[in-house]
Every structure is written in structure tokens, then in C-alpha cells.
Structure 1
Amino acid sequence: MRCNCAILSPNVASFVDAKPFSLPFCRQAKNSTSINAEVINSWWQVERMFDFENIGFTHARDGVKYLICANCEDGPVGYLCPVTKAHFVAVCRVKQE
């Protein structure tokens, strides 16, 4: 992320591994007609939207809402699962302090 904004407080998320999901890269090529993504396996799972300190949501794309930093709008840093309504934050896209 571009800023040092806190997204989660300690102890509100559970670590989930081996849950592959294709998350779009934060930066996309200009004039590209396709979206480039990476498969991420390790996540912080957050059950409730109100457990976040500072998170924003994109409009749904193919039924999925993506999570972004509400301060700098960088992202996506995760996604909202349309089936379970659980939120998943990519471990590799956020900094832990």
C-alpha cells in the first residue's frame, strides 16, 4: 500500500492459508483490455465489515467487491466473498506492525 494507514486492529482477523483467489494487481497497464491478476493463497479473514479500521469497497465486478484502503484508495488489498460474505485481506498486500 502507498500509505501507513491502519486497516485492522490486532486480533480481529484469522489467518487462512491455501485459499487460492485471483486478485487483480494494484497497478494495471494503460490501454489494456484485460485485467492482470495474481493468485494469492494466504489471507486475513474478517467476518464483519465493522471490524475494519479503514477500508473501502469497489463496485462489484463479476459479482465480487474488492477491498481498498479508504485513505489512499490503493488496492485491491482483498475481496468480499459473495457467497459467505466474509472479507479476505491478502497477507502480501498489507504491512503488519
Structure 2
Amino acid sequence: MAAPCAEMEPAAAPPPSPPPAAAALDAAALVCAQGRNLKAVLCQRCGSRVLLPGAATFARRELLLPAMRKKAAAAAAGGGGDGDVVREHWLVRDMFSFENVGFTRDVGNVKFLVCADCEAGPIGWHCLDDKDSFYVALERVTHE
């Protein structure tokens, strides 16, 4: 299990990168000095807790996520069509660190992460070639 950040103090601002096209997020307010999440990560739709504070590491990686919808529709879309390029993520190294997350069926070699309670998503991405990397998009979740 991930060790929570010592005293969970805010870190210096992460290195600059272009902000997402959607609402720009203040990642510095969400990341502690050790690079972990300061706040709990929640589903935008139902408020279900996805990650506890300190369970994930801030990461920048450009990923294309399909538009938000229920799990069955996201799997049927096959990741194609409309979507968003997302650059800021919480990187989780152990799937058992999640409090509440579901997965779509395989779409090629990718599974998309969804809220296990309301099935809204995708909120994140997991490549089956890398068993230890689960990405949760900051702009697809809320923080508390």
C-alpha cells in the first residue's frame, strides 16, 4: 500500500506544460512534496471515493480518452471516435490501491477505468502490456 505523504504539505508547482483544453487544473494544490495526491480522488458524477490521499503519484503523459459515458457505451465505442487528449494523471502502481474502480472490456490492449458505483467514465486508462500502471485523469475526477 502506498505510504501517505509526510504531513501532506503542498509541493512546489510541477514543471510547466500546456494546460488541458478544458478547465485548467491547479495541480500544485493537489500534489505534496513527494509527488503524491494530497486529497482523496472522487467520481465527478456520484462522489464515490476512487483513491485515498497518498495512494497515487502525479504524472504527465498524453493519452486519448473517449468522451465520458457509461461503461457499456464506452466499451462499445472501442476508444475510437470522439475523445479528449488528457495530459495530467494520477499514476497508480497497484490495482489494489483503488478504493472503488471498475474496468471496461479490453479495447485492443487497453482497459478504461470507470467508477465502480455509477459506471461513469472513462476516468482513466490501463495498458495490458504494463501490469503496474493505471492512469486516472485529473480532469475526469474531483478532489476532496
Smaller-chain TM-score range? Answer: 0.7 to 0.9
Match status 1:62 vs 2:104: no
Q: For structure 2, which runs of at least 5 residues remain unmatched after alignment?
A: 1-43
Tell me which residue corresponds to 2:139: 92
The normalised TM-score by structure 2 is 0.60
Query: 1:2 offset after TM fit, Å?
Result: 1.1
Aligned length, in residue pairs: 92
Q: Give the % identical residues.
A: 40
Distance between the aligned counterparts of 1:69 and 1:25, measured in 2?
14
CA-to-aligned-CA distance 1:6-56 (integer Å, 9 cap, x gap)? 000110100002x1010001147xxx9x52111101000001110000000
Please identify which structure carries the higher helix content: 2
Pick the structure with greater CA Rg. 2
The residue correspondences of 1:38-53 to structure 2 (distance < 5 A) are 38-53=84-99
Following the alignment from structure 1 to structure 2, what is the Cα–Cα distance between the partners of residues 94 and 26? 11
Give the gaps of 5 or more residues in structure 1.
none
Normalised by the size of structure 1, how large is the TM-score? 0.88
Higher relative contact order (CA 8 A, sep 6+): 1
Residue correspondence of structure 1 range 12-51 to structure 2 within 5 A: 12-17=55-60, 19-27=61-69, 35-51=81-97
Shift of 1:87: 0.3
Distance 2:55 2:126 in 1: 16
Runs of 4+ in structure 1 deviating by more than 3 angstroms, as ranges, are none
